Every structure is written in structure tokens, then in C-alpha cells.
Amino acid sequence: MVGHLIEIEGKPIRYLAADEQLAGDRGNMQNFDVFEDRKLQQHPRIRRVLTALIRPLPLFYRVLHWSDGTDLHELDRKVLRGEFNDDDFAGALVAEPGTINCLNCATQLRILVVDGGQALFAKTLGERLRAHDLKQRCPSCRAHITLQIVEFFNEDRDL
């Protein structure tokens, strides 16, 4: 299997450190795109994770996203040594890839949007959303977007 099976708030999740490859059966991974994954492997605000629902398969491709400057290379080291705790994830939100069209300029946007359906962080989701620096404007036309977006793929300077 891929990644490091860890528990955050008692919930199992597979954590991928920077540059770790997603080997294995990608057919059992929902929402996985090899090119997008490559862009996220070294992202300073993102770590990739795989989650399962009730059954062990399929695995769902998600990311943990921070906007508070948490040092994710340091977090990688802690995870690899098994020295992390829930506090290391205090600033994180679970997000998933998605596609929208801007209602103002119609530009198609690939986004990472908060996945509010996850059990992980569910109890503190409101606080986490308030503390997070969400993206609120279309990168093309700057119109307001009301979704809970943490990153745009189109903004190459960001991703």
C-alpha cells in the first residue's frame, strides 16, 4: 500500500510526505489525476492523503491544506518518525479536487475545495474554516466566489 497509515483524532488516514509516489492500484483511487498529483507533491501548503469510507476500498484522493505557515517538511519528519500528534494538524482542512465555471466570466477552474463531508475535523470544522485563508475571488476576473476554495490549479504561480 502507499503512504503512511496514521491516525489523526483517532481516524485512520494514509499520509503522503513530499515527493512520495502514489504507487499501487490507481484504479482503486477516486479523484486521482497523475498530472495534478505531480503539482501537489512539493506544495508548501498541501500534503496529499488517501481516505476510505466504510470499506477499505476505494481510497479517496484528498489533500490536507494549511494556510497558517505550518512547516510541512517538519511535519513529514514527524510523521516518518511517528512523533506527531493531533496539534500538528490543528490548522488543516481536508480538501478535494473539483471543477467549476466562474459564474461571472465562465472560465473553467480546477479547484481544491473543502470536503465538509469527512469525519476527520468534523467537530472543529467551523473554527477551522474561520481561521483559514480561503480563496474568494476568480483568478481570471476577480469576481467573488462563494465556495470554500483553498487553492486554484490554474494559478500556476501558486501551484
Positions in the binding site for Zn ion (CB under 5 A): 102, 104-105, 138, 140-141, 143
Neighbouring CB atoms inside 10 A of 89's CB total 22
> Do 50 and 3 meet the contact criterion of CB atoms below 8 Å apart?
yes
Q: How far is the CB of 144 from Zn ion (least distance, A)?
A: 10
Q: How far is the CB of 102 from Zn ion (least distance, A)?
A: 3
Q: How far is the CB of 154 from Zn ion (least distance, A)?
A: 10
Looking at the Cβ atoms of 5 and 143, the one nearer to Zn ion is 143
Q: How far is the CB of 150 from Zn ion (least distance, A)?
A: 18
Looking at the Cβ atoms of 40 and 138, the one nearer to Zn ion is 138
> Do 42 and 151 meet the contact criterion of CB atoms below 8 Å apart?
no
Looking at the Cβ atoms of 1 and 105, the one nearer to Zn ion is 105
Q: How far is the CB of 76 from Zn ion (least distance, A)?
A: 35
> Do 49 and 16 meet the contact criterion of CB atoms below 8 Å apart?
yes
Instruction: Classify each residue of 6-38 as buried b or exposed e, where b means 16 or more C-beta atoms within 10 Å of its C-beta.
Output: eebeeeebbbbbbeeebeeeeeebbebeeebbe
Q: Give dist(CA 150, CA 36) in Å, integer.
A: 15
Looking at the Cβ atoms of 5 and 106, the one nearer to Zn ion is 106
Looking at the Cβ atoms of 99 and 104, the one nearer to Zn ion is 104
* Spatial CA neighbour of 59 closest among 88, 81, 30, 86: 30
C-alpha cell recorded at residue 92: 488543516
